[in-house]
Amino acid sequence: MKGKINIHFLLVLIAAALWGAAGIFVKAVGNFGIKEMQIVFFRAIFSSLVLGIIILLKNKSLFKVKLKDLWLFASAGVFSIVLFNFSYYKTMSLTSLSVAAVLLYTAPIFVCVISVLLFREKITFNKIFALVIAFLGCCFVSGAFSQNHRLTPTALCFGLLTGFGYSLYTIFSQILINKGYGSLTITFYTFLFAAIGSLPLVNIFKTVSSVVAEPMSLAILFLMAVTNTVIPYLLYTAGLMGVSTSVAPIIATIEPVVATLVSVLVYHEAFEIWHFLGIALVLMSVLVLNLRCKKNEAKG
């Protein structure tokens, strides 16, 4: 229909916006002394639990997967969730938060290259243009150009590993979609394996005792799992069914825009000209991609 936004495009956009609100939950549980990898662990546990209950109530057959495909679900959980989070937090410890955020958003570049090799997607001018301005927008939004930042080779390696890990969810999800699996099945098994994969990275006894000592933190972590993990990952995975693999992560660059707005509106952090310029560039990239999606729909 003329003038309407592509529904799958919109699903990816909403998912990224929900991810952008993660800072609210991270700050809230941080006040209770819950560390980053502990957050990853509980997000994975609660997310797989909620998704498992949904599948039980909706359609138990969604639990069924082929044994030969289990490595794909395991890889999605371990590499695209655990590896991504571990390397992201490591990057933040080695350099500034803004540089870590910029390196995170090398993910669309990785997805674009891998999509050409695996899915034979075409690299168009619109994609390249949107990719470049979205990346520049993320640089401005994060404030990477507003001050001097220290970037060591180690920080660069972990930062690029973050972008690569972040890109893998899109890649593995698309492979599993092509194999006929739905959004619920993909997201459930991804987080189930993420929970298992994160066990070696947390002190389970200390982690559980920390949360038990602060029941409110448990409620916040559960709310985070539902609103910041289950819902956006389901929406993003469903969006991949109608948006090309290389386009989805570029749309998702709306995430740092939302994160910046949250920091300004909720935590009253300074809003500089860099932020405004970055938001404008990211929104421009999203507009370019939406016009491309409309054009494709018209051809279809």
Residue-range definition of the domain harbouring residue 245: 7-299
> Which residue is it, tokens 């994975």?
44
pLDDT on residue 3:
46
In angstroms, the CA 189 to CA 174 distance is 14
In angstroms, the CA 74 to CA 165 distance is 13
pLDDT on residue 46:
95
pLDDT on residue 17:
93
Q: Using one digit for the tens of pLDDT, what is the confidence trace for 22-51? A: 888 988 888 888 888 888 899 999 999 999
| Ranges of the chain whose pLDDT falls below 70 | 1-5, 96-98, 144-150, 291-300
Number of domains present in the structure of the chain: 1
Kindly report whether the global pTM for this prediction surpasses the value 0.95: no
> Is 108 a domain residue?
yes
> Is 2 a domain residue?
no
Q: Using one digit for the tens of pLDDT, what is the confidence trace for 97-146? A: 667 777 888 899 899 989 988 988 888 888 899 899 988 888 888 776 66
> Is 33 a domain residue?
yes
pLDDT on residue 291:
63
Tell me if residue 96 falls in helix, strand or coil. coil
> Is 1 a domain residue?
no
pLDDT on residue 224:
93
Burial letters for 128-154: b for 16+ Cβ neighbours within 10 Å, e otherwise?
eebbebbbbbbbbbbbbeeeebebeee
pLDDT on residue 150:
65
Residues 6+ apart with CB under 8 A from 138: 101, 102, 105, 253, 256, 278, 282
